[in-house]
Amino acid sequence: MFKQNPDNMRMEPTPERVLAVCRLAAQGNMTKEELRSAMTLGQESGKGADIVNRSLSVASEELGLIQIKNDRLVYAAAKDVIRDPRQFRRYVGSKVFLRPDTTFVMFSKWVIGQNDRLFGLLRWEVMAKTCAEEVQALSALNENAVLGWRFWAAFLGLGYLSGTMFLPNMKTRLQDILAVSYADVFEYGQSVRAMDFVQWLNNRLPEADLNGRLPLAVSAGLRTLHELGLIRLETRMDSNRVNLFAVDGEPVNSFSHITVQKKVCE
């Protein structure tokens, strides 16, 4: 799922399945065969076993959450990582987006860069074919890979799934970053210049191009956080502004200052 390009992203290792594998392994003293048996109710082979094998591969080889020592599975991260889906999501997000050479990140960047054009790509097959034609490095991309990508993209907060469409809105991804890293540089509840904020965010959001007008996915995420009262976007006279992706009827299309509330961490 998060291997170097080209990688045939598979549908089987969903976030829920990988988390379940990690939680079982964390109980200790379990072999791969015992884990597979526990998750498939004793099924030795077939689709269920294949799902477990692929989920275990993502957990161990791609996320480094499980190690195999003396034929036993050893959980290799802090227990907090698998405490709940939010902690798991933040751990995975902190890892996978740091590798720009993976098919997952390369395709994510392409999707985010499409802005409202994405609404015209109404089927996963069309999305895969269009990207393969436009990005030489992703020429091998197919529908099955995109179907696998969609589960993790939604889980990690790049947008929302609606039937055969992907709705770009990075509210969850942005909130995770603000909750984990914002206080390292800024103070919650204090107004920050938009230019300083975007420069800071640019180093933590490698899957989006923040130079110039912000992409639709990022803009929608900031607007959602603003509407929820988790951040406040302000436009002050005689101050440099950052432009959001313009949306008809939307009152907030730029901002000069941002205030991030501490409740963004909740």
Per DSSP, which regions of the chain are E strands? 66-69, 72-75, 159-162, 165-168, 191-193, 231-234, 242-243, 254-255, 257-260
Residue 183 lies in a domain: yes
Burial 177-202 (b: 16+ CB within 10 A, else e): bbbeebeeebeeeeebbbeebbebbe
Q: Are residues 146 and 201 in the same domain?
A: no
Residue 65 lies in a domain: yes
Residue 132 lies in a domain: yes
**C-beta separation of 66 from 56 below 8 A:** yes
**Could you report the per-residue pLDDT of 107-134, keeping only the tens digit for each?**
999 999 999 999 999 899 999 999 999 9
Query: According to the model, what pLDDT value does residue 42 have?
Result: 67
Residue 70 lies in a domain: yes
Query: Of 220, 266, 257, 197, which Cα lies nearest the Cα of 119?
Result: 220
Coil, helix or strand at residue 20 = helix
Residue 10 lies in a domain: no
Residue 2 lies in a domain: no
Residue 128 lies in a domain: yes
Residue 5 lies in a domain: no
**Could you report the per-residue pLDDT of 93-107, keeping only the tens digit for each?**
999 999 999 999 999
Could you say which of 167, 200, 215 is where a domain stops? Answer: 167
**Could you report the per-residue pLDDT of 202-248, keeping only the tens digit for each?**
999 999 999 999 999 999 999 999 999 999 999 998 899 999 999 88
Could you say which of 167, 196, 213 is where a domain stops? Answer: 167
Q: Are residues 101 and 151 in the same domain?
A: yes
Q: Are residues 120 and 151 in the same domain?
A: yes
At 44, the pLDDT band (50, 70, 90 cuts) reads low
Tally of domains within the chain = 3
pTM of the model as a whole: 0.94
Could you say which of 167, 191, 207 is where a domain stops? Answer: 167
Domain of residue 70: give its range.
Answer: 15-82
Q: Are residues 140 and 176 in the same domain?
A: no
Looking up tokens 């008809």, which residue turns up? 248
**Cα–Cα separations (whole angstroms), residue 134 to 102, 111, 208:** 17, 12, 18
**C-beta separation of 225 from 173 below 8 A:** no
| CA 247 distance to own-chain centroid | 24
CATH of the domain at 20: 1.10.10.10
Q: Is the peptide bond before 6 cis (omega within 30 degrees of 0)?
A: yes
